[in-house]
Amino acid sequence: MSKVFTSGRRAMLIGAAAAVATNLSREVAARPAAEGPWAVELFTSQGCSSCPPADMHLGRLARRPDIVALAFHVDYWDYIGWRDPFASRETTERQRAYARTLKQRYVYTPEMVVDGIGHDTGRDPAPIEALLSRAQARATRRATPDLSRALGGPLSIRLDAYPLDGRIADVTLAIYDRRHTTPVRSGENQGRMLENFNTVRHIELVDRWDGTARSWSVPGERIGPTQGMAVLVQETDHGPMIGCNKLEPAYSG
């Protein structure tokens, strides 16, 4: 397990070639689920030799309809010989925010944060399934956003009224690439062909929510034709998830 202290090293991002899966045929509406879905956020780096097993695990979780699986590539390992083309300071800061909320001594890769309540490396499925079971047990009701989008049009987000009891929740949009294959030419993974899934390319706070019925619209030009969209609803400042959902292109063949 690679790790770095929260006050530690930083590096800069540089681009590299990557291929996005094609054969997109249409958009589909995301159907709210009464008992989920549940969020799994992987903090990973192509410069980390411990990360590929967790990357593949996330790829398997991404196929599950009850999981919103997102990969956030961090930039603090770029200095060791390979600059991750998908890393950004924003994703690194999201991991550091979770470290503060979850009272971690340091950030590390790979790290899977499950529904904002706990974390593990993600290389072994068993601890992640245990955290998912814990998330399911604590939730009597989810604020699952209803997502819909016509092909090429704006993304519509709708939330029914939810009893936040005076608390505030963050409504966050993540836009992600479904799959990338990257030949790594240097660093700890030199010579490997890495597979990455649901790689977040853009994340933004849509609004802060007080629990009243609301709807939002995100312009379609912000979203690429092959990209997936996820909306996370969680207690403010990276607290536990209240609800989440995803909307992904459907593939032909």
Structure-token match 């600059």, residue found? 83
- Tell me if 25 is assigned to some domain: no
Q: Give the integer Cα–Cα distance in Å for 227 and 220.
A: 11
Angle at 128 between CA 93 and CA 173, to 5 degrees: 40
Cβ count within 10 A of residue 39: 27
Q: What is residue 139's predicted lDDT score, i.e. its pLDDT?
A: 75
- CATH classification at residue 58: 2.60.40.10
Angle at 63 between CA 157 and CA 51, to 5 degrees: 105
State the SS3 of the chain: CEEEECCCCCCCCCCCCCCCCCCEEECCCECCECCECEEEEEEECCCCCCCHHHHHHHHHHHCCCCEEEEEEECCCCHHHCCCCCCCCHHHHHHHHHHHHHCCCCEEEECEEEECCCEEECCCCHHHHHHHHHHHHHHCCCCCCCEEECCCCCCEEEEECCCCCCCCCEEEEEEEEEEEEEEECCCCCCCCCEEEEEEEEEEEEEEEEECCCCEEEEECHHHCCCCEEEEEEEEECCCCCEEEEEEECCEECC
- Tell me if 57 is assigned to some domain: yes
Q: Give the integer Cα–Cα distance in Å for 112 and 114.
A: 6
- Tell me if 24 is assigned to some domain: no
- Structural domain harbouring 223: 2-7+32-251
- Tell me if 23 is assigned to some domain: no
Domain count, the chain: 1
- Tell me if 20 is assigned to some domain: no
207 - beta bridge partners?
A: 171
- Tell me if 17 is assigned to some domain: no
Q: What is residue 252's predicted lDDT score, i.e. its pLDDT?
A: 39
> Along the 253 residues of the chain, how does pLDDT read in single tens digits?
544 433 333 333 333 333 333 333 334 455 443 478 999 999 999 999 999 999 999 999 999 999 999 999 999 999 999 999 999 999 999 999 999 999 999 999 999 999 999 999 999 999 999 999 999 998 788 999 999 998 889 999 999 999 999 999 999 999 999 999 999 999 999 999 999 999 999 999 999 999 999 999 999 999 998 999 999 999 999 999 999 999 998 753 3
| End-to-end CA gap in the chain | 38
- Tell me if 22 is assigned to some domain: no
Distances in Å between the Cα of 30 and the Cα atoms of 66, 135, 148, 155, 249 are 11, 21, 6, 11, 10
**Entry pTM:** 0.86
